[in-house]
Amino acid sequence: MSAQFGKVVVIGAGTMGHGIAQVAAMSGYSVTMVDLSDEILRRALERIRWSLSKFAEWGRIRPDDVDKIISRISTTTDLESACTDADVVIEAVFEDLKVKQDTWSRASRAARKARILGTNTSSIPIDDQASAVEGPERFLGIHFFNPPQLMQLVEIIVGSKTSDETRKLATEFARSLGKTVVTVYRDVPGFIVSRVLTRIEEVACHLVEKGKYTPVQIDSALKYRAGFPMGVFELIDYIGIDITYNVSSKVMAERDKTFRPIELLKRYVERGELGAKTGKGFYEWPGGARPTIPQDAGKDVDIWYIIIPGMNEAARLVEQGIATHEDVETAIKLGLNLPKGVLGYAAELTAEKVRSVLSELRAELGEGYDPSPYLLSIVAQPRPAAAKYEEIEVRREPPIGWIVLNRSHRLNAISPKMLDELEDAISELAADRAVKVIVITGSGERAFSVGADITTFSEILSSESKVPMAFWFSVRFNEVFRKIERTPKPVVAAIDGYALGGGLELALVCDFRIASDRSEVGQPEIRLGLIPGGGATQRLTRLIGPSKAKQVIFFGDRIKADEALRLGILDKVVPAESFEREVREFAMKLAELPPIALAAAKEAINTALNVSIDDGLRYESSLSALLFSTKDLAEGVSAFFSKRKPEFKGE
């Protein structure tokens, strides 16, 4: 919570409105929800209670926080009186210009004191609404993603009358809700995420209509070869074909002639096949179950036909000064859950490829496919972000990829920035085919890492919104650490010196922990009056059992390497003098193993602690059967019979 904004009013208690109200109350604000009837408000409160009980179930809040949070929310049908003493007003009413203008005309007159008036629209132009607002310099778009309780991203959209001060305040406010904010400096249809997604949908549907590929082929290619969490047709089905069609025709095409209504979708809508909600769309959704998309269906698809138009759209936002390169990437990553932002694919492309794909599509689909000079400029220099790391160093020495924690003056304490960089580095090395093994180690003579940077704790302690800040800080550790844990390549922690707190927790998400004999490990948080926040209570317990984990975490002692080896925290202890050589030898041994089988083994073992033995065994059988489709297995078997050393290629 930020002290600047005491009272928040949310107008509209539907899906988005109640979610936003909940998020604000969870961050400590006192919130008033306004809607037309007591019945709607009662239902909204019920939904909030349900959602909070889920948070409590997942351990993200304490059970007794549920009532505390709800007690911060009041409800009313009296718009004017709710707004009188509001500092922030957010509107999430029906997406209709007239309704929004009426609402804002009343709300802005009543909310004399409010410094932020934000519309959570996804489709109605900001300026059209601003014309009804008293004090339009206070007015802007604050676009949450659905569901606001879970989605990290907020797009802030600056209208032509919005003041700089309002933009900054709104950014501060959204951040105080624990959100990641991206700024859209001009009100373009679709803002960032929906705009880029619509372009991708438009071109994917075009390729299907043209008979070049089928939806399954495209989805398989995007999912299994480009790392998308869902195929684009699966996503359209999931969101609703009618909704996606409306976005393409109403939100985009009506306001921007470079877009067109997607005719393929219209035909589905006319047949009443709307996707998951009707049980049928591009896929069948029996009982709502997600479709199965075969892994090799997309092997002949040229994925660049789908990705380049999305990149091109993103690049235009940058070149027109609508959003920064970084914000576009953040928005796409968080809004679409992509492994990297869409411009990140530039490193894999050449300008010729971009030109040839876009000129073909330009001829068929029009000016929306004119190549962006900015895109051409970044593909021409394949690694624009080469020197991007400051707090870590990434060294590629194929087959080993090194991540070196690089804050030796602070004993490699982990700052929020270091976490961001770790996340990027792990994705980068995971995607690099030449890298077979990842080694994480510390710089300097003294430490792997001494854990979370305690200066961040002081900042949190001096803030008004301690608890949400601390909560998200810990969540962030867990998010990044989980990514490292789930990397399909072996990851080794090479510890020379202290591995304490978050430092040991980072080592715990690695597959192996090798330490020099002078190292000391431990979870000293208790000595600060705290407990571990980066997973130790869970992972250490699974690794060495609850009583030993309690010994380590309760007492918070620094444990010498030999003892840590005995406890099972470390896997191998080697003399300090030969530490690096030993680490390399260990990593090289891993690099010789068949990568796909290693990834499958890692996946199966990591799953073992979370599922029943029956499910686990079935999973093992499935993964082991899948390996029969690899060339590596054929090579392994043939090498065995001809008594030679196998050469695994990861195919």
Best CA proximity match to 519, nearest among 560, 553, 556: 560
How far apart are CB 385 and ligand COA at their closest, in Å? 27
What is the helix (H) or strand (E) element at residue 596, kind and residue range? helix 595-608
Best CA proximity match to 594, nearest among 629, 624, 631: 631
How far apart are CB 502 and ligand COA at their closest, in Å? 6
How far apart are CB 388 and ligand COA at their closest, in Å? 23
How far apart are CB 554 and ligand COA at their closest, in Å? 15
Q: At a CB cut-off of 8 Å and minimum separation 6, what does 123 contact?
A: 95, 189, 247, 250, 251
Is position 506 an interface residue for ligand COA (rule: CB under 6 A)?
Answer: no
Is position 498 an interface residue for ligand COA (rule: CB under 6 A)?
Answer: yes
Considering only 453, 485, 496, 505, the residue that binds ligand COA (CB under 6 A) is: 453
How far apart are CB 570 and ligand COA at their closest, in Å? 18
Q: What sign does the dihedral 208-212-214-219 (CA atoms) show? A: negative
d(CA 583, CA 578): 9
Q: Where are the alpha helices (DSSP H) in 401-545?
A: 416-431, 454-461, 466-486, 502-508, 536-544
Is position 521 an interface residue for ligand COA (rule: CB under 6 A)?
Answer: no
From the list 234, 391, 505, 520, the catalytic residue is 505
CB nearer to ligand COA: pick between 236 and 452: 452
Residue 512 dihedral angles phi and psi, to the nearest 5°? -140, 150
Q: Is 497 in contact with 446 (CB distance < 8 Å)?
A: yes
Secondary structure class of 143 (helix, strand, coil): strand
With contacts defined by CB under 6 A, name the span among 126-134, 215-223, 342-350, 447-455 that binds ligand COA.
Answer: 447-455
CB nearer to ligand COA: pick between 185 and 457: 457
With contacts defined by CB under 6 A, name the span among 100-108, 247-255, 450-458, 636-644 that binds ligand COA.
Answer: 450-458
Distances (CA, A) of 613 to 325, 362, 540, 546: 47, 54, 21, 21
Considering only 40, 133, 317, 500, the residue that binds ligand COA (CB under 6 A) is: 500
Active site residue 525: yes
CB nearer to ligand COA: pick between 368 and 522: 522
Beta-strand relationship, 400-405 and 392-397: antiparallel
CB nearer to ligand COA: pick between 73 and 450: 450
Is position 461 an interface residue for ligand COA (rule: CB under 6 A)?
Answer: no
Considering only 118, 125, 190, 451, the residue that binds ligand COA (CB under 6 A) is: 451
Is position 407 an interface residue for ligand COA (rule: CB under 6 A)?
Answer: no
How far apart are CB 455 and ligand COA at their closest, in Å? 6
From the list 525, 563, 580, 603, the catalytic residue is 525
Secondary structure class of 190 (helix, strand, coil): coil
Q: Where are the alpha helices (DSSP H) in 122-257?
A: 126-130, 164-176, 193-209, 215-220, 232-239, 241-246
CB nearer to ligand COA: pick between 374 and 473: 473
CB nearer to ligand COA: pick between 201 and 525: 525
CB nearer to ligand COA: pick between 434 and 454: 454
Return the residue nearest ligand COA (CB atom): 501
d(CA 221, CA 302): 8
Considering only 413, 484, 492, 540, the residue that binds ligand COA (CB under 6 A) is: 413
Q: Is 603 in contact with 620 (CB distance < 8 Å)?
A: no
How far apart are CB 11 and ligand COA at their closest, in Å? 41
Distances (CA, A) of 181 to 63, 177, 385, 466: 29, 10, 21, 19
Amino acid at 602: K
Amino acid at 341: G
Active site residue 234: no
# binding residues, ligand COA (CB under 6 A): 15
* Contact map string, positions 523 to 542, toward ligand COA, x by CB under 6 A: -xx--x--------------
Considering only 501, 535, 594, 646, the residue that binds ligand COA (CB under 6 A) is: 501
β-partners of residue 515 are 495, 573
Q: Is 401 in contact with 395 (CB distance < 8 Å)?
A: yes
Binding site for ligand COA (CB under 6 A): 410-411, 413, 450-455, 498, 500-501, 524-525, 528
The residues annotated as belonging to the active site are 505, 525
